């Protein structure tokens, strides 16, 4: 008898079942491995990743021609991945990258996707982050901040948001890339900030996440961009944070990884986009007058105080041989107090003060399960991928490693402090460099850039 249309699986359900089957096939194989083989399968394959990344920075094949307008992004994805792995490029290659990005810098400000291309906010963000990741006077002095400020002003839109490029789309991604670049370069002022908060607030959806533009669907990448931008302009408490938190915690799926939108498939890149949202939420108390606090007594969820080594893991954290499910209860947070305002002269220090504050909230996601997904399902021999069945690429390598770093340090109260061994899945040698979650640059490089641009 033919099944009724109501009982037939949708295409989305069918694709989800395929992904789940592939993921749990990998997990089951891991469970059956001998102890030594398990340890090897959970190692970050540093040497192979470095080889893959360095090769791509030196020369790309003809298939990359379709990414001709994204070359600063390729620089950023590769350089940031190398930095997360605790390595750096050789001086000759560093000089080549600086020279190339200088040729991408437009005479009127901003960076294009390649030499001679028109400036674009996305590639400007990628180029600036690349140069900050390289560090040193030559790289940082190569950025023409006066012209860049003029370019950002030209991209300012009457809605309060920003256009991605001259005549381009206005969205939350443009808001974040403009505000992030201006903040880290010490050129953020009231004129750039004006009504940005209004635009981003208008993009928060009924689900709680943030869409790319008003009326669209909540999305992990845009939620990170919107939340980070609101923090950098000192207006984060205008968002409905409890509903944003409710939305993001339910984006971690049965596979252990994150999906980007409701009812979509898991994707390794959201290890950072969604995991980074959690990292931001954990530190909000450091810049909001009235901090996020538990809605009920500490019976529901412990927070705040420095804890002993044995109390740093919540009830839901177990490895593959235990249980992949979350703890039964979710920490429900509320926000109190009026909008926080900042003197424009202090915009530059928001990112610094944010990361210097102690984290008083536990992670909003299952950090061990996410590390399992990244290491067992996304990691290949040299590079990372979206999910089983996909191919590795530099984009997913960058954001899988960024998400892995966020996981490893998610229980650390002080930014950059070495986590306890139990917080790092696999050997402790897996430990990556910590990132500044507002900018997604390695923490040491952020400190160097902040000191440099505070003097210039």
Phi, psi values for residue 133, rounded to 5°: -65, -40
Q: Which of these is catalytic: 108, 312, 393, 444?
A: 393
Q: Tokens 């960058």 appear where? A: 398
**Contact criterion met (CB below 8 Å) for 436 and 115:** no
Q: Which of these is catalytic: 27, 125, 270, 409?
A: 270
Q: Which of these is catalytic: 165, 173, 264, 392?
A: 264
Phi, psi values for residue 377, rounded to 5°: -110, -30
Q: Look up 396 and say whether it is catalytic.
A: yes
Token digits of residue 54? 């360095």
Distance CA 357, CA 224 (A): 20
Distance CA 403, CA 279 (A): 10
Q: Which of these is catalytic: 219, 251, 360, 387?
A: 219
Q: Which of these is catalytic: 75, 203, 225, 269?
A: 269
**Contact criterion met (CB below 8 Å) for 407 and 350:** no
Q: Which of these is catalytic: 163, 165, 386, 450?
A: 386
Distance CA 324, CA 316 (A): 8
With a CB cutoff of 8 Å and minimum separation 6, the contacts of 121 are 110, 152, 155, 162, 163, 164, 165, 173, 174, 177, 178, 181
Q: Look up 393 and say whether it is catalytic.
A: yes
Integer CA distances (angstroms), 259 to 72, 132, 219, 268, 425, in order: 26, 30, 9, 8, 21
- What is the Cβ-side half-sphere exposure of residue 292, based on CA atoms within 13 angstroms? 27
Quick one: which of 312, 288, 415, 330 has its CA closest to 368? 312
Q: Tell me how crowded residue 285 is: count the other CB atoms within 10 A of its CB.
A: 19
Q: Look up 283 and say whether it is catalytic.
A: no
Q: Look up 270 and say whether it is catalytic.
A: yes
Q: Look up 407 and say whether it is catalytic.
A: no
Tell how far CA 198 is from the center of its chain: 23
Token digits of residue 148? 């860049």
Vertex 260, ends 287 and 221: CA angle to 5°?
45
**Contact criterion met (CB below 8 Å) for 30 and 320:** yes
Q: Which of these is catalytic: 80, 261, 366, 450?
A: 261
Integer CA distances (angstroms), 246 to 209, 232, 241, 273, 281, in order: 9, 22, 9, 16, 12
Q: Which of these is catalytic: 49, 125, 163, 267?
A: 267
Q: Which of these is catalytic: 396, 398, 409, 436?
A: 396
Q: Look up 285 and say whether it is catalytic.
A: no
Q: Tell me how crowded residue 200 is: count the other CB atoms within 10 A of its CB.
A: 28
Distance CA 223, CA 163 (A): 18
Tell how far CA 245 is from the center of its chain: 16
Q: Look up 409 and say whether it is catalytic.
A: no
Catalytic residues: 219, 261, 264, 267, 269-270, 386, 393, 396
């Amino acid at each position: 008898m033919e099944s009724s249309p109501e009982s037939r699986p949708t295409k989305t359900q069918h694709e989800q079942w395929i992904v789940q089957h592939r993921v749990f096939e990998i997990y089951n194989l891991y469970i059956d491995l001998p102890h030594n083989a398990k340890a090897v399968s959970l190692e970050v394959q540093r040497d192979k990743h470095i080889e893959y990344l360095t090769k791509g920075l030196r020369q790309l094949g003809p298939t990359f021609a379709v990414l001709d307008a994204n070359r600063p992004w390729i620089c950023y994805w590769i350089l940031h991945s190398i930095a997360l792995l605790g390595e750096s490029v050789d001086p000759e290659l560093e000089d080549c990258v600086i020279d190339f990005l200088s040729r991408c810098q437009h005479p009127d400000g901003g960076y294009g996707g390649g030499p001679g291309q028109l400036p674009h906010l996305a590639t400007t963000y990628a180029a600036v982050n690349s140069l900050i990741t390289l560090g040193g006077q030559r790289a940082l002095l190569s950025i023409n901040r006066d012209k860049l400020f003029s370019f950002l002003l030209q991209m300012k839109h009457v809605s309060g948001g920003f256009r991605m490029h001259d005549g381009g789309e206005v969205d939350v991604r443009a808001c974040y890339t403009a505000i992030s670049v201006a903040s880290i370069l010490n050129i953020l002022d009231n004129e750039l900030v004006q009504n940005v908060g209004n635009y981003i607030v208008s993009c928060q959806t009924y689900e709680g996440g943030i869409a790319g533009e008003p009326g669209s669907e909540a999305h992990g990448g845009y939620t990170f961009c919107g939340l980070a931008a609101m923090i950098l302009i000192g207006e984060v408490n205008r968002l409905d944070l409890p509903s944003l938190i409710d939305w993001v915690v339910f984006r971690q799926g049965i596979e252990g990884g994150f999906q980007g939108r409701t009812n979509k498939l898991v994707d390794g890149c959201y290890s950072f986009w969604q995991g980074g949202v959690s990292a931001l939420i954990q530190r909000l108390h450091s810049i909001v007058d009235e901090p996020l606090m538990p809605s009920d007594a500490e019976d529901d969820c412990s927070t705040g105080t420095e804890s002993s080594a044995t109390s740093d893991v919540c009830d839901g954290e177990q490895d593959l041989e235990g249980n992949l499910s979350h703890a039964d209860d979710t920490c429900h947070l509320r926000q109190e107090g009026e909008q926080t305002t900042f003197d424009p002269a202090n915009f530059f220090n928001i990112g610094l003060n944010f990361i210097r504050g102690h984290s008083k909230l536990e992670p909003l996601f299952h950090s061990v399960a996410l590390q399992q997904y990244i290491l067992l399902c996304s990691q290949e021999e040299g590079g990372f991928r979206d999910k089983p069945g996909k191919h590795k690429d530099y984009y997913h390598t960058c954001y899988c490693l960024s998400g892995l770093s966020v996981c490893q340090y998610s229980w650390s109260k002080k930014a950059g402090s070495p986590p306890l061994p139990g917080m790092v899945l696999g050997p402790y040698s897996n430990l990556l460099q910590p990132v500044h979650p507002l900018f997604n640059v390695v923490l040491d490089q952020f400190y160097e850039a902040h000191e440099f641009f505070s003097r210039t």
